Amino acid sequence: MRKGVMRPGHVQIRVLDLDEALKHYKDLLGLIETDRDEQGRVYLKAWTEVDKFSVVLREAEEPGMDVMAFKVVDEAALLQLEQDLVAYGLQVEKIPAGELKDCGRRIRFSTPSGHDFELFADKLYTGKWGVTEVNPEAWPRGLQGMKAVRFDHCLLYGPELAATYDIFVNVLGFHLAEQVLDPEGTRIAQFLTVSMKEHDIAFIHHDEPGKFHHASFFLETWEDVLRAADLITMTDTSIDIGPTRHGLTHGKTIYFFDPSGNRNEVFCGGDYTYPDHKPVTWQAEQLGKAIFYHDRQLNERFLTVLT
Amino acid sequence: MAGVQVFNRTTGDRFSCEEGQSVLKAMEHSGLRCVPVGCRGGGCGFCKVTVLNGEFQCGKMSKVHVSPECRKRGEVLACRVYPLTDLTIECRPQGAADSTTEQQQK
């Protein structure tokens, strides 16, 4: 049941070198820089996004994900969710408005998978980039590289998937769109959503907590994914795999790495879900096909190369 | 500079490395797979090697995988090692992931 969590809001990614990272996220992915703060963090967004930023880059000595944040419908929902998280037994940290520029107050909590998440209700509405609000053109000119449409989801690796599922589904109101079950019926992958998308957040079981597999950005068409692949070659960017199709979600995809080794995905397509849909289940024995539908086998990197 | 030679003592492979090229990139250009290839960005720790002999410079690497102590022992990430002289390296056996990211999940 929905609890007022609306959609992914932003992801804060640690990078080893900010200038290299900006070249990657702006020139290659096509995100737009919208601000910087006194901590040195850089704020970016994709062109169709209406809020001021969806990606925050922070220079650090260890790459990975600091936090993923979800936007909730309003302050009342935020207050209720805060109470619900505390009642569930989680420690909730309150982060004042303005700690991220032009973002309202956030509440932060950790899941047993070892990841930090935030909820917020307000962020400066700047509108879609480069198009007018009234009688908008189809797309703006002047976009760079892959022309990413939106920040779509993250895939995270960690332990305690069942406990993490409990928080996302029963406290935050996500529903399970897709899963991978091992022969004993234990869920080793869970794709969770608050929308019609097959995942707003996904987890795969991994013994080490808090690992970041990828941040994913949406493209419109398969042609766009192929063009992204061309750009990856033209810029000698580290590629992981693809273009190919996933079995899970059936999205068409390519994986590559930012200059600090954080994995990115751009993808198009994918199935849809409604809350009355039963979860799509893949068997762990078919994990190769579930992840890479054409190769039907995993590359070792998919399970082990993380930040 | 015509490039330096890198010798992988674990596998017996040799390949040449151009100036400004990382050990991992030189290996991939040579068509070899004697060091595991991960993110190629100093982030995942997959391509950790030990430099036994030779001079080199390093790019930025994740502190989680290369602490200052590791760096002193020559335990570095091949994707961020830029040789200044011929190098002799050692790597973990093929298929082994970094100890901190190792997992058996099937």
Per residue in A186-238, pLDDT (tens digit) is 999 999 999 999 999 999 999 999 999 999 999 999 999 999 999 999 999 99
CB A28 within 8 A of CB A198: no
Contact by Cβ (8 Å): A263, A206: no
Does the structure show a pLDDT above 70 at B93? Answer: no
| Cβ–Cβ < 8 Å for A182, A136 | no
Distance of alpha carbon B38 from alpha carbon B79, whole angstroms = 9
The type of residue at A153 is H
Residues A166 and A300 in one domain: yes
Residues of A with CB under 8 A from a CB of B: 16-17, 61-64, 188, 205-208, 211, 238, 240, 257-263, 284, 287, 300-301, 303-307
Q: Test B43 with A260 for CB contact under 8 angstroms.
A: yes
The predicted structure's pLDDT at residue A187: 98
A157 and A65 both lie in a single domain: no
Q: Are residues A97 and A156 in the same domain?
A: no
Q: Spell out the domains of chain B, with CATH numbers in brackets.
A: 4-105 (3.10.20.30)
- The yes-or-no answer on residue A294 being catalytic is no
Residue A240, H or E segment: strand A239-245
Do residues A177 and A199 make contact, with C-beta atoms less than 8 angstroms apart?
A: yes
C-alpha distances (whole Å) from A168 to each of A70, A84, A267 are 11, 12, 24
> Do A171 and A52 lie in a common domain?
no
Across residues B32-46, what is the average pLDDT?
Answer: 96
CA distance B23 to B83: 7
- Residues of chain B found within 8 Å of residue A17, distances taken between Cβ atoms: 60
Buried-exposed string B74-96: b where 16+ CB fall within 10 A, e elsewhere: bbbbbbbbbbeebbebbbbeeee
CA distance B54 to chain A (A): 26
B103 to A238: CB separation less than 8 angstroms, yes or no = no
Confidence at residue A268, expressed as pLDDT on a 0 to 100 scale: 98
pLDDT value at residue B21: 95
Interface test with B, best of A13, A14, A15, A16 (most B CBs within 10 A): A16
B9: closest CA among B34, B32, B31, B33? B34
* Nearest Cα residue in chain B from A17: B60
Distance CA B4, CA B16 (A): 6
Classify residue A127: in a domain, yes or no.
no
- Average pLDDT of B73-80? 96
Q: A162 lies in a domain?
A: yes
Same domain, A236 and A98: no
* Domain count for chain A: 2
Residue A205 is a catalytic residue: no
Whole-number mean pLDDT of chain B?
88
Select which of A115, A199, A205, A213 is catalytic.
A199
Same domain for A109 and A156, yes or no, is: no
Q: Is the pTM of this model over 0.90?
A: yes
Residue A28 lies in a domain: yes
Please count the other Cβ atoms lying within 10 Å of the Cβ belonging to residue A191.
26
Whether the CA torsion A242, A56, A8, A29 is positive or negative: it is negative
Look at residue A278 and tell me if it is in a domain. Answer: yes
State both tokens at A128.
Answer: 């879609």
- The range of the structural domain enclosing residue A165 comes to 152-304
- Given A103, A120, A137, the domain boundary residue is A120
When pLDDT is cut at 50, 70 and 90, the band that residue B96 belongs to is very low
Average of pLDDT values for A256-264?
98
CATH number at residue A272: 3.10.180.10
Q: Which residues of A touch B63 (CB under 8 A)?
A: 61-62
**Pick from A257, A303, A306: CB nearest B41:** A257
Kind of pairing between the strands at A42-45 and A55-59:
antiparallel
A43, A165, A255, A293: the active-site residue: A255
Q: Is residue A18 part of a domain?
A: yes
Average pLDDT over residues B82-105: 67
Q: Which of A63, A240, A303 sits opposite B62 (nearest CB)?
A: A63
**A179 and A35, same structural domain?**
no
Tell me, what's the ipTM?
0.91
pLDDT tens-digit readout, A6-50: 999 999 999 999 999 999 999 999 999 999 999 999 999 999 999
Q: A168: which DSSP letter?
A: I
Same domain, A158 and A299: yes
Say yes or no: A168 and A298 in one domain: yes
Alpha helices in chain A (DSSP H): 18-22, 75-88, 161-166, 222-234, 287-291, 300-304
* One domain, residues A57 and A173: no
Distances in whole angstroms, Cα of residue A204 to Cα of each of A251, B63, B67, B69:
17, 24, 28, 32
Residues A45-63, mean pLDDT to the nearest whole number: 98
* The predicted structure's pLDDT at residue B94: 58
Q: When comparing pLDDT for A300 and A275, which is higher?
A: A275
Residue B97 has pLDDT above 60, yes or no: no
- Residue B92: pLDDT band (50, 70, 90) is confident
Omega before A243 within 30 of 0, i.e. cis: yes
Specify whether A157 is catalytic: no
Q: Which residue of A has its CA nearest to B25?
A: A238
**Domain match, A103 and A162 both:** no
Q: Which residues of A touch B58 (CB under 8 A)?
A: none
The residue ranking higher by pLDDT, B100 or A90, is A90
Q: Are A56 and A147 in contact (CB under 8 A)?
A: no
> Using CB atoms, which residue from A16, A205, A257 is nearest to B40?
A257
Confidence bin at A299 (pLDDT 50/70/90): confident
pLDDT at B105: 35
pLDDT at residue A76 is higher than 70: yes
* Closest Cβ–Cβ partner in B43, B103, B106 for A207: B103
CA A76 and chain centroid, separation: 25
Q: How many CB atoms lie within 10 A of CB B52?
A: 12
Q: What is the pLDDT of residue A1?
A: 81
A72-86 in b/e form (b: 16+ CB < 10 A) is beeeebbeebbebbe
- Whether residues A31 and A99 share a domain: the answer is yes
Min Cα–Cα distance to chain A from B74, Å: 18
Q: What is the mean pLDDT of chain A?
A: 97
> Is residue A143 situated within a structural domain?
no
Over range A74-99, report the average pLDDT.
Answer: 98
Tell me, yes or no, whether A139 lies in a domain: no
Within 10 A of A184 (CB to CB), how many other CB atoms are there? 6
Rg, Å, chain B Cα set:
13
Going by pLDDT thresholds of 50, 70 and 90, the confidence category of residue B103 is: very low
Contacts of B38 in chain A (CB under 8 A): 261, 301, 304-305
Residue A273 lies in a domain: yes
Known catalytic membership, residue A213: no
Looking at A97, A120, A143, which one is the last position of a domain?
Answer: A120
What b/e readout covers A154-167, taking b as 16+ CB neighbours within 10 angstroms?
bbbbbbbbeebbeb
